[in-house]
Amino acid sequence: MKIITTIEDLQNIRKNLNKSIGFVPTMGALHSGHISLIKKAKLNNDITIVSLFINPTQFLAHEDLSAYPKDDLRDINICEQYKVDYVFMPTKEIMYQSTDEVLIKAPKLSSYILEGATRPGHFDGVLQIVLKLFNLIRPTNAYFGKKDAQQLSLISKMVKNLFLAINIIECEIIREEDGLALSSRNIYLSKEQRKNALTLSQSLNNAKKLILQNENNTKTIVNAMKNILKDQDIEYLSIVDREFNEISKIQKNNTIILLVVRFGNTRLLDNLWV
Ligand code: AMP
């Protein structure tokens, strides 16, 4: 496995790669969710590249970027263990020059609701870094988790609108045995919060059960979920179609139930694709 830290090295290496490339962009603090993406990339490509970069432009001014978990050595070891070919870990000075004046804007409507409502401008930063990484790595396939549903949708839109020749591969949400979706932020939970955090997956499982019993009224489903989440600090709970429009009836294969619950300063996000 080779670790790349400069743009020049990456471009030189990329020039000589004439094989299929699977790319997994991450902010590090790797867990089994990230590893599932890496495994999928390994399985379906000749070369696998993982990026480890905490992207400053997707954090808002009041969000504590420096508090984001970081353990490069551990991440490198994990990549080595799963036989990643290249790890790209640039500094922010390399990724963002002071002359960085050309910016990409996330769509006005779909990126200022849900995640974008609490974190306005967040998706501008996400698209900016993903586009830069795509241009450098020029992957055949790029792997993203369905856990970040809105991010996945906006990246797919960018690829389509800008005619990028990259396949976006959607990957299933990986969970702990008890149902909690894996997240780099889970380490911040106290014992009590960790226990309460199970209400996210429990409420989604209950929604799934209701839908299997042919309940299709989204209000009824939201109410049943809120019942399970009753003592929790819900930031949003929304049932939308894959274009992120609120819907009143469940549409099979075109519905996402999204929720964010706060535990102290930690926001946990989970969702169910129906
Ligand atoms: P992050 O490092 O949080 O930016 O995440 C990097 C990638 O891993 C994104 O595409 C996420 O959607 C994906 N990811 C994060 N958590 C999970 C999970 N529990 N299951 C599947 N994919 C995940």
- Answer yes or no: is pLDDT of 64 > 90: no
Per the domain annotation, does 253 fall within a domain?
Answer: yes
Region 219-243: what's the mean pLDDT? 97
Q: Is residue 178 part of a domain?
A: no
* Domain total of the chain: 2
Q: Are residues 93 and 219 in the same domain?
A: no
Say what the pTM is: 0.96
- Full domain range(s) for residue 44: 2-171
DSSP percent split of the chain into helix, strand, coil, nearest 5: 40, 20, 40
- 35 C-alpha to ligand 1 centroid (Å): 9
- Please check whether residues 124 and 198 belong to one and the same domain: no
Percent of the chain exceeding pLDDT 90 equals 94
Helices (H), 146-230: 149-161, 191-196, 198-212, 218-228
Q: Measured from the CB, is residue 111 less than 6 Å from ligand 1?
A: no
pLDDT for 109: 84
- Residue at a domain's end among 138, 171, 204: 171
Residue where a domain terminates, one of 118, 145, 171: 171
Asked whether the predicted pLDDT for residue 131 surpasses 90, the reply is: yes
Is residue 176 a part of any domain in this protein?
no
- 205 falls within a domain: yes
CA dist 163 and 12 (Å) reads 24
Does the structure show a pLDDT above 90 at 98?
no
- Does one domain contain both 32 and 165? yes
Do 142 and 198 lie in one domain? The reply is no
The Cβ of residue 174 has, within 10 Å, a number of other Cβ atoms equal to 16
Instruction: Please compute the mean of the pLDDT values over residues 47-62 and round it to a whole number.
Output: 96
- Specify the CATH number for the domain of residue 219: 3.30.1300.10
- Same domain for 153 and 53, yes or no, is yes
Q: Indicate which atom in ligand 1 lies nearest the CA of residue 37.
A: 22
Is residue 220 pLDDT above 90, yes or no? yes
**Per residue in 158-189, pLDDT tens?**
999 999 999 999 999 999 999 999 999 999 99
Q: What integer pLDDT is reported at residue 37 of this predicted model?
A: 98
Output the domain CATH number for residue 72: 3.40.50.620
pLDDT band at 124 (very low <50, low <70, confident <90, very high): very high
Which one-letter amino acid corresponds to residue 141? N
d(CA 212, CA 205): 11
Catalytic residues: 34
State the chain's mean pLDDT as an integer.
97
